[in-house]
């Protein structure tokens, strides 16, 4: 008396587990496409949520630094408020109090003070 029938023996035979499924079936997509499309979508999301707004802010800051003039009220990246008293290519002289002037790098200017 056989424990397994012939079809059950084929099912549990080691060769059955080593067989590969048929390649290129109609429902199988290219694995590269399955990777590239989601990565492209992630890149687009990062572009519109991160890189594009950051580029706009950088251009606006560069334009503001280029248009600085004496008398502008500014704030530095360190949080110092002052009035522009002199400008060179690399250095901005700020008047922070009566008789007190400091030199800061032009790149240290974070923005113009908001009018109150």
Edge to edge, the sheet with strand 100-105 lists: 100-105, 91-97, 81-87, 73-76, 109-112
The dihedral region occupied by 14, where left means phi > 0, alpha psi between -120 and 50, and beta the remainder, is: alpha
Per-residue pLDDT of 49-92, as tens digits, reads 988 999 999 999 999 999 999 999 999 999 999 999 999 989 99
pTM metric for this prediction? 0.58
Is residue 40 within a helix (H) or strand (E), and if so which, with residue range? Answer: helix 31-46
What is residue 31's predicted lDDT score, i.e. its pLDDT?
A: 83
Q: Is 29 exposed, middle or buried (0-12, 13-18, 19+ CB in 10 A)?
A: exposed
Per-residue pLDDT of 16-44, as tens digits, reads 555 555 555 555 668 888 889 999 999 99
Contacts of 107 (CB under 8 A, 6+ apart): 65
The token duo for 21 is: 């499924």
């Amino acid at each position: 008396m056989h424990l397994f029938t012939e079809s059950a023996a084929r099912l549990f035979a080691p060769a059955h587990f080593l067989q590969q499924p048929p390649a290129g079936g109609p429902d199988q997509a290219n694995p590269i496409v399955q990777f590239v499309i989601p990565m492209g979508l992630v890149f687009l999301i990062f572009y519109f949520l991160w890189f594009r707004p950051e580029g706009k802010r950088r251009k606006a800051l560069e334009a503001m630094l280029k248009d600085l003039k004496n008398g502008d009220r500014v704030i530095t990246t360190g949080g110092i408020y002052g009035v522009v008293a002199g400008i060179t290519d690399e250095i901005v002289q700020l008047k922070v109090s009566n008789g007190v002037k400091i030199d800061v790098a032009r790149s240290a200017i974070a923005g113009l003070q908001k009018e109150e």
